[in-house]
Structure 1
Amino acid sequence: MRTPPLPLAEAQARLLALAPALPVQERLVTQCLGHYLAGPLLARRTQPAAALSAMDGYALRAADLPGPWQVIGESAAGHPFAGTVGKGQAVRISTGAVVPSGADMVLLQEDSARDGNTLHLTGEPPAPPERHIRPAGMDFTADTVLIEAGTRIGPAQIALAIAGGHSHLTVRRAVSVTVIDSGDELVPPGQLPELHQLPASNGPMLCAMASMLPSTIAHGGPVADKLADLAAALEAASDADVIITSGGASVGDHDLIRPALEAIGATIDFWRVGIKPGKPLLIATRGRQIILGLPGNPASAYVTAFLFMMPLLRAMLGAAQPLPRTIPARLAAPMPKGGSRMEFLRAQWDGATVTLDPLQDSGALSPLARANAFVVREAWADARTAGSDVPVYLIENGGNA
């Protein structure tokens, strides 16, 4: 008796449990974009190290209001005032400059008037007095955690790490991925197919998705529907961390991924997941290598890559949250009831409402290219009215993780 398809959450958990952690390496912080931090990053310094002015004006003592004051010097960014502000004294100060010793208020220049070295109050003083002062340690203090382990490094994280005193970060090395197209009907990109043929578009699509993460990618194929050819292509990729195949994972006479995997000594972990599109997903291992057999229909290949390939790569790279996350969105039009499998419907999200594409066939690429979201419809879900909230995956960046 054939084993029933696995539920999505169980299949994802089983796959991620197989994911080996990649070796850790030190990289220049400026070369870590897109990587995941391998351990918590502690600040090596305090930011700001001293109290700074947030505005242009005059540093003085609030106790001396309403003035007047005698201006005794200047504090500029990078050039602090060396003395101390005493009773009835003020120091000209610019944005980002160190607040001099003795001062506890910055009076804005537009609220003051200066006659030679005599300063007068002409407007309202700040309330509270320290309003325009950035205290020492406002951003972070030495030895506190700047960035948690498993955080993806983006432009802001690069800046924060540098501000915290770091020139290098500890991350995992890039994951090596080999993508293999298979199918007698496929012809290489750019070659016009005959009526019985199709352009091999899945491989480049999957390579593009994997390239959103730190990876080295090899693309093989199209490989003919011959057991020996498929086994040879898989064997040639024995050094890859992950092999992704497209097509041939179902049960037809020409679906040879399973026997090819068995021929190279791989172990099938599970096959078939209860989702639409993408049911004939296959997961196998060969030592530390993980092999994902994705369906051949383009929408099925994309959905399974989104739900399985990308989370696997994130997990291997050390992501704290490798799975994509949904957001709620309102349906722009009614949605019919669901069938026996959880579905991922191609849709357009405008920031508030989501519109299902009228074409949901798994063999169609145009709705996939139009889509920036998947609407999740649970198995046997009731029909939903326009305005109902539904869970949505945003897909423009390969998942929001």
Structure 2
Amino acid sequence: MAMSCDHPDLLPLEEALRRLWEALPTPHLPELRAERDDPATDRASMDGIALKASEGRAPRRVLGTLFAGSDPAAFSLTSGTAVRIMTGAALPLGADAIVPVEQLESADGMALPTIDPAAGDHVRPRGEQARGGDLLLAADTPLNAARVALQAQEGRPLPARTRLRVGVASTGDELVPTPAPHQIRDSNGPMLAALAHILGAEVELRSALPDDPAALAAALQHPGDIRILLTSGGVSMGDHDHLPAVLRDLGATILFHRIRLKPGKPMLAALLGDLLVLGLPGNPVSAYLNALLFLPQAMARLEGRSAPDPWRRARLTAPVKHKGDRPLLHPCRLVEGRLEPLPGKGSADLITLAKADGFAWIEQGGLEAGAKTRWLPVV
């Protein structure tokens, strides 16, 4: 008996993403502890004068000015004195409050507070953020820009900020520069290279590979200095779909092959030594959507970042029917914050892909107009 195209043993998208994430190595960062108190001394949080609060509104003689980074030992307050101070500067000896510029008057060369200051006013006290030795980040915390700043603040070596190198190679004997009616130009290669570039990779667009196991094996065995290889085509069930078998023959670990998604079912991910191969389907919509789902995940993991969440939510302006049992990603335009379904013509419809703002997630049975669903923005 023939098996349904939409049979239930296909790997769900979230499981495929999880397998990819867990299979990839990621930078191991040691725990980060505070080198010293933060701040290391009492500091001004506003521009004004530093004074002793207990002297109230009494006029103050200004001894000088402290800027951020100035040594506060240059001044020591005595009765009736103050120091002009800028935001971030350390408080001088004897000061316990800041009166902001907006609450000061001057007369006869003296500074006159217009409010009754209280100890601690506009002061960031020593150790307010952390005490020396406090745990700031646990080991293996993913990196982001703020955590890089914290590493720098604590005097720790900064992580390398090299771009991941991604190779892109389409496959297929039908790909030629000047196509006859039975041939086509390679549009997937430039599309995937552009996507990888937008996502922050350093990209190498390679020549299309023929439908030949030996040529595929040679390309996989000598990948150069790339970390990820994006291929398109050669992963389905046809006689010329050689990539899965070639990877197995080379000893690659197949993380998954064929997922529960429409379009994009033939998707393959494999590790060949240190090289991650993302074998995308050959049809452009399938290739693009799978790359958009899996490439950011792989890049984030390899760079030590948190897993990205590309999904947004919006309501449909019109119904979308769907009889299949694989979740459908349906092309849409975004109009005033709502998803307007486009009349897509399948996974080969590059024209509709180029017009779409995103793809709506449609479960079996479809969705009615006004239904809210998650959607994947195109980039």
TM-score, normalized by the shorter chain, greater than 0.5: yes
Note if 1:343 corresponds to 2:328: yes
Note if 1:52 corresponds to 2:36: no
Structure 1 pair 111/261, CA: closer, same or farther in 2 (3 Å)? Answer: closer
- Contact 1:349–1:372, Cα closer than 8 Å, also in 2: yes
Note if 1:118 corresponds to 2:110: yes
Per the TM alignment, residue 383 of structure 1 is displaced from its structure 2 partner at its CA by: 1.9
**Secondary structure, aligned partner of 1:58:** strand
Question: After superposition, where does 1:32-181 map in structure 2 within 5 Å?
Answer: 38-81=29-72, 82-121=74-113, 123-125=114-116, 130-147=120-137, 149-154=140-145, 156-166=146-156, 168-170=157-159, 177-181=166-170
* 1:261-301 deviation per Cα after TM superposition (whole angstroms, max 9, x unaligned): 34544454542111011011123444554433210112211
Q: TM-score, normalised by structure 2?
A: 0.81
Identity of aligned residues (%): 33
* 1:156-188 deviation per Cα after TM superposition (whole angstroms, max 9, x unaligned): 44444323323x22469865544321012213x
- Contact 2:317–2:338, Cα closer than 8 Å, also in 1: no
Per the TM alignment, residue 222 of structure 1 is displaced from its structure 2 partner at its CA by: 0.9
Structure 1 pair 119/268, CA: closer, same or farther in 2 (3 Å)? Answer: closer
Partner of 1:186 in structure 2?
175
Structure 1 pair 288/385, CA: closer, same or farther in 2 (3 Å)? Answer: same
* 1:308-350 deviation per Cα after TM superposition (whole angstroms, max 9, x unaligned): 333234333333x3353534x3315134244321122344557
* 1:25-71 deviation per Cα after TM superposition (whole angstroms, max 9, x unaligned): xxxxxxxxxxxx73343343444322222322221122222323333
Cα distance in 2 for residues equivalent to 1:336 and 1:139: 52
Q: Which runs of 4+ in 1 moved over 6 A?
A: none
Match of 1:303 among 275, 289, 292: 289
Structure 1 pair 334/265, CA: closer, same or farther in 2 (3 Å)? Answer: same
**Secondary structure, aligned partner of 2:105:** strand
Note if 1:196 corresponds to 2:188: no
- Contact 2:57–2:115, Cα closer than 8 Å, also in 1: no
Note if 1:222 corresponds to 2:205: no
Cα distance in 1 for residues equivalent to 2:225 and 2:49: 65
Partner of 1:391 in structure 2?
374
**Secondary structure, aligned partner of 1:243:** strand
**Secondary structure, aligned partner of 1:130:** coil
Count of paired positions: 371
Question: After superposition, where does 1:322-361 map in structure 2 within 5 Å?
Answer: 322=307, 324-327=309-312, 329-331=313-315, 333-338=317-322, 339-348=324-333, 352-359=337-344, 361=346
**Secondary structure, aligned partner of 1:100:** coil
Per the TM alignment, residue 197 of structure 1 is displaced from its structure 2 partner at its CA by: 3.0
Q: TM-score, normalised by structure 1?
A: 0.77
Cα distance in 2 for residues equivalent to 1:225 and 1:371: 31
For 2:14, give the aligned amino acid: A
Partner of 2:21 in structure 1?
16
Structure 2: unaligned runs, 5 residues or longer: none
Match of 2:360 among 371, 375, 381: 375
For 1:48, give the aligned amino acid: P
Per the TM alignment, residue 113 of structure 1 is displaced from its structure 2 partner at its CA by: 2.0
